[in-house]
């Protein structure tokens, strides 16, 4: 049955109509004509009639009572984040893995739930553990209701606790910890007959402390956040060929990037039982001694490393001077969504294999930028603008002239033109240049995850003073990246495009209002906004009903 408006002349009448099937055909019959629609609306009789009928439809009665303010509200909670990441947490078996790590320990609180709370906080608000405790109040996170701040601190300390019964090798003065064991278990559950750590993307960064940092981790060093005044730690992230986070390594803040490469290779072999590791890393990792060690019989490690074009004499004078022809790997773009163009040529010098990569689109952009800078310099120099020397972008094109004057150095301009749109790789692999160059381009995955960790999943501020607690704090950011990557891969498998900020906004707006009506508890769900519905579908999560009775 349903309402229908029947027009007769200038008037509209409201009718109650029933549909029925007869001899295979659908027919309608009028059960009652309620009256003229304009009269019913003006007198309020229609509203009274509908409200009376709601008594016989419980769900609609609750919704109407809530809209009229006739229910007793109990609480309002955001439920979207737990629905998706709770499912992913289960799919990755993180709960059972952490419980196995706890077999020999007895805590008076749920360590697994404390870790889940901290990881969820990284994904949505980030910040300190104290902020996580306050943030939890607005969200539904089953099992975390009784947790207090000191429980979060103790959970972080447990995750970063050294494994004394598994001495292992201390790499860069860092012991093997419970977090390392959990990373290995995560890999083991994905291992099959064909699993191998054959191609690993690695990149380090630095994260500073607000206080003194740990006993060993908190050290002054070269800060990539431009905060040399604060102590810091160095964080290394390793990904497999599919962009899946393998592990994170934490070292004292004064550790040089170049010294981290060999320990990472050793740790990967020990922890993940890889037969042969092929490492892909940026130019900050390269040195003659490092390459010699990677090629030694002891390590026998394949590598694809970015080379320093300006500071390494062999690259600057011999590799870039090679007159060989480029092979086109990716053609010029026809649309903005196409991959960037790429050309590659191979140069071998005394057994050392280099690949010179060229992006014509970037070369043209660099040339246009350089031309604009030179034109501006010429105008400013006519006015005697000495303050230009303080600008790094300008200074590299200038040379001192007589007195306090400066002129444009034509040789420097020509030298810079040689580097436009190019980068150089050094490798010991025998694969064709195309495969090596494209593999190195995938290193952006690590850089993208680091950007996410420092912005979207920012682990700062860090106030912890013990190394174990700091390691646990950093490990929770790693698990947050793991969950985010799991969701991204599921979205990509469905061919979905998304914006992370829009998904978060949709989840944050998905709320459930708990209300009491006629002595019974009901939950009313809000509407799904933004791109959140894509995430629910990708994670295989069914949305709760708009209205449900709660026990």
pLDDT given for residue 247 in this prediction: 86
Per-residue model confidence as pLDDT tens digits over 258-272 = 788 788 887 777 777
Q: What is the mean pLDDT of residues 237-261?
A: 83
Per-residue model confidence as pLDDT tens digits over 40-49 = 888 877 777 6
Distance (Å, rounded) from C-alpha 256 to C-alpha 53?
75
Closest to 118 in 3D by CA, of 104, 103, 99, 139: 139
pLDDT given for residue 172 in this prediction: 61
pLDDT band at 194 (very low <50, low <70, confident <90, very high): very low
Per-residue model confidence as pLDDT tens digits over 78-115 = 888 888 888 999 999 999 999 999 988 888 899 999 99
Residue 427 predicted with pLDDT over 50:
yes
* Cβ contact 306:438 at 8 Å: no
* Cβ contact 469:160 at 8 Å: yes
Phi and psi based region of residue 354 (left: phi greater than 0; alpha: psi -120 to 50; beta: remaining):
beta
Find the DSSP H helices in 277-430.
Answer: 288-295, 313-314, 360-382, 392-395, 410-419
Per-residue model confidence as pLDDT tens digits over 365-395 = 988 988 888 888 877 777 666 666 556 666 6
Per-residue model confidence as pLDDT tens digits over 473-487 = 889 888 988 998 888
Give the containing element (helix H, strand E) for 15. strand 11-22
pLDDT band at 159 (very low <50, low <70, confident <90, very high): very high
Specify the higher pLDDT residue, 47 or 495.
495
Distance (Å, rounded) from C-alpha 391 to C-alpha 396?
9
pLDDT given for residue 356 in this prediction: 92
The helix/strand/coil state of 89 is helix
In sequence order, the 6+-apart residues with CB closer than 8 A to the CB of 88 are 483, 486, 487, 539
Arithmetic mean of pLDDT over the chain: 80
First to last CA, the chain: 32
* Cβ contact 377:393 at 8 Å: no
State the pTM of this model: 0.75
Q: What is the mean pLDDT of residues 167-181?
A: 73
């Amino acid at each position: 049955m349903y309402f229908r408006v029947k027009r007769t002349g200038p008037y509209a009448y409201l009718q109650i109509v029933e549909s029925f099937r007869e001899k295979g055909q659908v027919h309608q019959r009028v059960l009652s004509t309620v009256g003229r629609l304009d009269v019913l609306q003006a007198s309020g009789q229609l509203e009274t009639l509908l409200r009376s009928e709601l008594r016989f439809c419980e769900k609609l009665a609750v919704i109407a009572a809530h809209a009229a303010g006739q229910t007793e509200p109990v609480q309002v909670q955001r439920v979207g984040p737990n629905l998706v990441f709770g499912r992913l947490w289960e799919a990755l078996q993180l709960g059972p893995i952490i419980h196995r790590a706890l077999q020999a320990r007895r805590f008076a609180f749920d360590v697994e739930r404390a870790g889940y709370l901290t990881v969820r906080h990284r994904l949505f608000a980030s910040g300190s553990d104290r902020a996580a405790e306050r943030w939890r109040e607005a969200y539904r996170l089953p099992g975390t209701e009784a947790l207090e701040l000191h429980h979060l601190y103790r959970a972080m300390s447990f995750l970063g606790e050294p494994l004394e019964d598994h001495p292992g090798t201390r790499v860069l003065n860092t012991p093997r910890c419970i977090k390392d064991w959990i990373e290995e278990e995560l890999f083991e559950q994905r291992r099959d007959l064909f699993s191998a750590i054959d191609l690993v993307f690695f990149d380090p960064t630095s994260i500073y402390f607000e206080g003194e940092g740990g006993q060993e981790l908190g050290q002054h060093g070269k800060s990539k956040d431009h905060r040399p005044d604060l102590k810091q730690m160095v964080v290394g992230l390793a990904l497999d060929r599919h962009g899946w986070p393998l592990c994170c390594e934490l070292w004292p803040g004064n550790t040089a990037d170049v010294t981290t490469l060999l320990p990472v290779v050793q740790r990967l072999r020990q922890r993940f039982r890889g037969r042969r590791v092929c490492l892909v890393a940026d130019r900050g990792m390269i040195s003659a001694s490092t390459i010699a060690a990677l090629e030694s019989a002891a390590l026998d490690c394949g590598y694809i490393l970015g080379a320093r074009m300006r500071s390494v004499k062999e690259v600057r004078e011999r590799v870039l001077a090679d007159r060989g022809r480029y092979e086109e790997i990716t053609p010029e773009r026809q649309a903005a969504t196409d991959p960037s163009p790429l050309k590659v040529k191979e140069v071998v010098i005394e057994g050392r294999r280099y690949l010179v990569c060229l992006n014509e689109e970037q070369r043209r952009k660099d040339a246009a930028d350089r031309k604009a800078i030179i034109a501006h310099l010429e105008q400013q120099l006519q006015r005697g603008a000495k303050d230009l020397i303080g600008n790094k972008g300008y200074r590299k094109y200038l040379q001192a002239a007589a007195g306090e004057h400066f002129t444009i150095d034509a040789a420097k301009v020509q030298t810079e033109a040689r580097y436009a749109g190019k980068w150089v790789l050094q490798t010991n692999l025998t694969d064709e240049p195309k495969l090596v160059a494209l593999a190195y381009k995938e290193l952006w995955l690590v850089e993208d995850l680091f950007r996410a960790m420092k912005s979207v999943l920012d682990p700062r501020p860090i106030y912890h003073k013990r190394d174990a607690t700091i390691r646990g704090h950093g490990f929770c950011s790693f698990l947050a990246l793991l969950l985010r990557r799991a969701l991204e891969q599921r979205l990509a498998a469905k061919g979905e495009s998304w914006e992370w900020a829009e998904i978060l906004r949709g989840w944050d707006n998905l709320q459930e209002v708990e209300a009491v009506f006629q002595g019974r508890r009901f939950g009313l769900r809000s509407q799904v906004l933004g791109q959140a519905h894509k995430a629910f579908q990708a994670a295989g999560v069914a949305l709760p009903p708009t209205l449900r009775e709660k026990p």
